[in-house]
Amino acid sequence: MIIYCPAYNAKSTLEELLERTAAQAKAFAKQGICLEKFIIVNDGSTDSTGALLAKLGKKHKFIQAINKQKNEGATAAVFTGMEAALALAAAGGKAAVRRTILVRMDSDLEHQPEDLPLLTGHITNGQDNACVGYIPIDSRSGRFWAWFNRIFGMAESREFLGLEIPQFCPGFYAMQAATLAKISPSLERMSEEYSAKYGEEMLFLDLAVLAVAKKQGKKTAVACLRPIEDGRIKRQPFGKLLRYFSYHKKGTAFLRTHL
């Protein structure tokens, strides 16, 4: 298993994230699953994220830090991590690509390492090519934010995935390396076209990953994750909801013409 994760000014969560992942890696090892690498893409952080990664890398050998000199945005950081993960899998040969599971997650601990088995289990049982996890968003993050996730998450997932996911563009999922390797060129072309058309990054990349996989006949399962921990709740401002509604409109229109 290889995890890839974008991080920007993440010094307050990284150490706990990686310590909890290390504990989960021990549990995985008992099941015969090896955490090969946890790739952290430090997207030009201006805090001590880079120094913290260097320190933690001496303790946990599974850490691979990619330090960008300037902030290039979440989509570019995810692509950087994805490419690094695919390269690692490919270095092991075709057999490694077939058996390796790649996991995309965030660094803010809304995605909890203890939920990893919920995602990987659907793939190791041989029934699915991918599994996406959704966080049950509740009113602690704001009443309108909970409503937005439920309404627009369901609309997008039903249309493009044939699934019911009550979270807007969830970004915590596991996928066979072979599946991601097959669809990554299409994703890069889509991202370039979207940026050229709208002059902004393709922030719905995670939805596009799952939608393109479905178009190519791959099976995706859904897992309900544990709620966000109380200490990690972020009250989302109404202005952010409006920006996300704009992303939703442009993203769904774009996907309809590219799938």
| pLDDT at position 27 | 87
CA distance 229 to 34: 27
Question: Could you state, in order of their start, the residue ranges of all structural domains in the chain?
Answer: 2-135+169-222
Contacts of 32 by beta carbon, 8 Å cutoff, 6+ apart: none
Class of domain 2-135+169-222: alpha beta
CA distance 88 to 103: 13
Q: What is the pLDDT of residues 29-40, one digit of tens each?
A: 887 889 999 999
149, 182 Cβ separation under 8 angstroms:
no
DSSP designation for 237: -
Angle at 141 between CA 135 and CA 144, to 5 degrees: 100
| pLDDT at position 58 | 95
| pLDDT at position 198 | 94
Q: How many CB atoms lie within 10 A of CB 175?
A: 27
> What are the residue ranges in the chain where pLDDT is below 50?
none
| pLDDT at position 51 | 97
Classified as helix, coil or strand, 6 is: strand
CA distance 86 to 167: 27
| pLDDT at position 241 | 82
- What pTM was computed for the model? 0.95
DSSP designation for 156: H
Q: For the packed helices 205-215 and 238-258, what is the interaxial angle rounded to 10 degrees?
A: 30
| pLDDT at position 196 | 96
**Strand stretches in 99-254, DSSP E:** 101-104, 130-134, 172-176, 220-224
> Hey, what are 250's tokens?
């442009």
CA distance 247 to 194: 11
Q: What is the pLDDT of residues 13-23, one digit of tens each?
A: 999 999 999 99
Q: What is the pLDDT of residues 153-200, one digit of tens each?
A: 999 999 999 999 999 999 999 999 999 999 999 999 999 999 999 999
| pLDDT at position 235 | 80
CA distance 203 to 207: 9
The DSSP element (H or E) to which 19 belongs, if any, is helix 14-30
